[in-house]
Structure 1
Amino acid sequence: MLGTIRAFWNDQRGIAMILVAIMLPVLVGFALLAIDMSRANSLHNDMQKGADAFVLAAAAELDGNTDAITRANRARDNLLKTNATKFSTADYHKLVPADLTVTYLSGIPASDSVGLNAAGVDENGVNWSTTDPKAARFAEVTVNSIAFATIFPASFVGSNDTMNRQTQAVARFNNALCQFTPMFICNPYTSIGALQTAVSGTTKPMI
């Protein structure tokens, strides 16, 4: 009897199957987690591109006139009408104004390290938001939090089976040269002698 127990204890046949059975769920879990992280990064990139497009469209209208915010909102809505997204996993989703939070700012923090929330309030509690079209200098667009279902069963480890992503963009257009008649400036005379010849009345073709 003791010999049988000793033989069973020393028998290593099938050990590889046991190791594979233990490691397979771990390997599959890591693979699913990598796929989910890739999907999350892809979603974030798409959302950031959308936020950038919307904020540039809105900021381009902030010229200090009394109808600046009205035109900025119209630019946002026109862009919404012509764009759709599959940001969520719940079938095809047409973007609507409720998907975005648009805030107009009179200024922004001096340091890029100071964050702004969707309402235009920075981390120091300063409220930069404004509803005055003459004071609005910056547009802030926040794509509201979007959740999608993960492949990795995170609920097994006490987490959620969804990931949430949110993006934000702030932009300003320098309107100093807007509404300015285009000009073409050149020097038609290649030398002082050519200029003196022109001044003397002799016809000099422009070069």
Structure 2
Amino acid sequence: MGGSESALTSSQGENLDDEITTVSERTEVGDPILEKLKSLKITAPILTSAPGESSLTDILVRKPSSSSTSGTVNPNVLLELFSMYRDWQEQKASKISKRQEEIENKIEVADALAVKLLQRFNYSASAMKTTSHHLSEVHALQVELGELKGRLTEVISNCDALCKRIAAEGPETLQSSIAPITVASTDPKNHPV
């Protein structure tokens, strides 16, 4: 089992002395990473050089031998490749700059719209605050107007009673000049506030 095991053994039947025997087993399985490292082998080098070239600089700056032209590149082909690469880079750069100008224009338009929207929002918020303030005062005005209507109705009824009293009991000179007051309907449906 890989660990230590204990077993209770009795000696030869009649002897009842107890003994503990310890058995330890050692596993032979090694570390898998260490096994992989042991299995690595050295391969042949990728860069091969002539016997006279001993460093990377010698390999990179070596001049081709006059007898072998298979490893050399035609300078005209190389020039054409570089010019094609330069043209491609210029096209990419012009596309990127054009795209950048378009994005900058869109950002400017978005900024201008944001400023206008902010102004309109501020104006709307100010108008809503003013309207809310006026509407909060309407209830107080309605209460005050109701009280004034009640007082006016009381005054008109007092005047009407006074006029009737003068017409009935007053001097004759006043009786002919006083006409009874006709009170208009005080129904709030007929007179909106």
TM-score by length of 2: 0.31
**Structure having the larger proportion of residues in helix:** 2
